[in-house]
Structure 1
């Protein structure tokens, strides 16, 4: 939604704005999907007959966002609140800020590598000697430490289906693990997000490990193995 509305604003500032808006044929009305109750809702009185133009697009964006984010969501949010208070006493939440609650629910947005290291266990299926396995672990964590924050979030998402770490160890169930597969420079790492397990072949070099890992996390596809 954000990107679509942003593009509308950008289109309104171009030299071809009038033609673009005429082609889009938008009005001050929203067609609701089945989950939202279906039908059509006017954002203004008589909105179905009011075309969106470069001159009124800001009002349209404001009304559209307000309806999608507040009006449509009001009933589900009330239901969520009721359900939450059924299992958590209201006084247990009174001292929490919105940020505190977000951290409890979503975890930390910043992926702390040392925290991830402390959470993670390794399983060996490669059959290689201890020195090679230790070298591989060092390669892996060295690569992760040098990743950008976005790449770390992509890695954790690929690995666990969540782009963030929980606020505490108790929130990480199951705990993350890495299974080292037999030597193979051809295949990409895969993951089973249901059990937070990453499967990585024992690549022959740190550079190959880095290339394969970055390629795998960019696809955001999970290989159930």
Structure 2
């Protein structure tokens, strides 16, 4: 039975990933910034607190999991969007976005790389955004969010190179404009549909997909 570790299961995409993989019979390690958001319906799963900006919580989760093999890690925890323009920027929030969206996933893979190496599938998925694509930026603004996701994308490329010899596939996925609290009520893609499509993409990934950026249907996106 394969095992998946998912960050940001409090709501939205992470929560849906946890529920869908559990329904498919996977062992789920679901992490939450706020443990009160625990998904009680996921019986037999591991539930843990994990603020991805808190190194001590990574250490605690690693101690709990030990050397258990993990087949798939989904780095989903993230924050945004910032709407400030020049002259009205909230730099404390910009800094927080870097801590969560960029540094958080790096802490995650550094902490659990050995667990992933011990798994059979060996896949690390970073949930990113097309707003991190420099080529696709035609509207400006959202400085902190765009930059934090562009930084995440750059790390995906480096991780793919560094972990290739261990058979680990590292891929960035854009979930689409999803109907979540972060996406807005008029978003086009229901969260369940987005996650189902991304799960299909994840299941098809091979070594040749490492270091790539795709949308939720598997269409390549430019950096």
Q: Shorter-chain-normalised TM-score: which range?
A: under 0.3
Which structure shows the bigger proportion of residues in helix conformation? 1
Q: Greater relative contact order: 1 or 2 (C-alpha under 8 angstroms, separation 6 or more)?
A: 2
Normalised by the size of structure 2, how large is the TM-score?
0.20
Rg comparison, structure with higher value: 1
Normalised by the size of structure 1, how large is the TM-score?
0.20
Which structure shows the bigger proportion of residues in strand conformation? 2
